[in-house]
Amino acid sequence: MNNPNRRSILSLGVALGLVGAAGSTKAWAAADSVAGSGTGADPEYIWDSATDPLMASLLENGQVPAVNAAMAGWVNNSDALPSGLPADLAAHLGKVNKLPSWADPVKLARAADFNRRKDTYLFMLYGLGSGIMSTVIPREARSVYWSFGGADMKDRAAKTFTFGYDLSQRDAFKPTGQFIVTANKTRLVHGAVRHLLPQSPHWKAGADQAIPISVADILVTFHSLGTYVHRKMLDWKIPMSAADQEAFLHSWQVAIHLLGVPDEFIPKTWAAAEAQSAQVLTPILAPTPEGLDLAEVLLGLTAEIDLGVTRGFLNEFVRYALSDEVGDWLKLPRDYAAAALVRTAWPAFILFREGLSPVMPGAFYMLDQFVRALAMLFLNKGTSSTTTPITIPTGNRPAG
């Protein structure tokens, strides 16, 4: 796939007043990356040269339905590549469906244990923090809304949940886990969306880029997830050792490598991640019509899960986790009684949970897993599966 002309994109951005909102990481210092050096390229204009031409060819030749059928049973990291895949796809997956050489199994094991111990916080922050933040990331909101998955947000949310669910499992990166496969399927989906969305007149009407999901966009998503969650846990004074924090970052470093992000752009420390986040994420947050619609759908889906909380509580937790400014952007009605409850009960719950954790380490984990399972039961439309199969789309959001 040919990269778009840089000058044409900048001209479009100037015309739309969006150049500053594009989140360019041109000033990113590769010395602060896991690679330690780099080419000096701007990830704003880098996509996935290994995956994108391959997915474009598969889509144009009508091979994607057969690929999806072949990959349906490819789940565990130890599974052999499915038979019947096109030779070029099989060759590609044979190269990338593995951990990077710099992955540290000790840190990954510690990250898995950290995820187990902090499961409730991660679930709440990924769901009501990062999930809703995605609706005020203009590019992400528009891409999600106008892609095929935007027409069925219950299914789209379940697939997103699958990515996070598999990443947080204790054996995520081990042969018995599923995350390496999940990440590679997600990478293929990204390649397909890069080919499909530019064909959507609806997406093109509001786009400030010729091709979606650049490396810079993936970094934005990483910061709305990993960096944001890490910062909020610090803000909430949740106990985390330095080793735990380093391990949590390492799991995300490996995750975004598996999504095709070149190592020169992957932050090597939380300080570097915060600096990059301030450059690419913080300045671009803004409401869009697509984002408002997506936020309402996502919060509506969450409210349907019978967890004993009101929609007002959910709205106020979003405001608590993200800010009143974001809540106002999303036009979330105020519930001041729920706001008072959230701002007093949640810190008390953290103190209570952390106080009991050393004495009853398994008690809250069972509750956490129950909440997660209940959410997936709803998102999977009543089935008992804990994850939703990730499939490659063949079109965009249907018109109408």
| DSSP class per residue in 38-105 | -----GGG---TTTHHHHHHHHHTT-HHHHHHHHTT--STTSPPPTT--HHHHHHHHHHSS--TT--H
- Give me the pLDDT at residue 348, please: 84
Q: Is residue 259 part of a domain?
A: yes
Q: Does some domain include residue 53? A: no
**Among 99-108, 182-191, 207-216, 295-304, where is mean pLDDT lowest?**
295-304
Is residue 55 scored above 50 in pLDDT? yes
Say if pTM beats, i.e. exceeds, 0.85. yes
Q: Which of 350, 320, 352, 353 is nearest to 335 (CA)?
A: 320
What pLDDT score was predicted for residue 354?
A: 84
Whether residue 199 is contained in a domain is answered as yes
Is residue 154's pLDDT more than 80? no
Query: What is the DSSP track for 116-174?
Result: HHTHHHHHHIIIIIIHHHGGGSHHHHHHHHHBGGGG-HHHHHHHHHHHHHHHHSTTTTS
pLDDT in tens, 287-322: 999 999 999 988 887 766 655 678 898 899 999 999
Answer whether residue 245 shows pLDDT above 70: yes
Q: Is residue 163 part of a domain?
A: yes
**pLDDT exceeds cutoff 70 at 47:** yes
CA distances in angstroms from 4 to 19, 208, 211, 212, 217, listed in the order given: 15, 12, 8, 11, 16
Query: Does some domain include residue 82?
Result: no
| 4 pLDDT higher than 50 | no
Q: What is the mean pLDDT of the chain?
A: 85
Residue 183 domain-assigned (yes or no): yes
Q: Is residue 209 part of a domain?
A: yes
Question: Who has greater pLDDT, 375 or 317?
Answer: 317
Q: Domain of 125?
A: 104-379
Does residue 83 lie in a domain region? no
Q: What is the pLDDT of residue 11?
A: 30
Query: How many angstroms separate the CA atoms of 258 and 173, rounded?
Result: 11
Number of domains in the chain: 1
Identify whether the C-beta of residue 215 lies closer than 8 Å to the C-beta of residue 264.
no
Q: Assess whether pLDDT exceeds 70 at residue 325.
A: yes
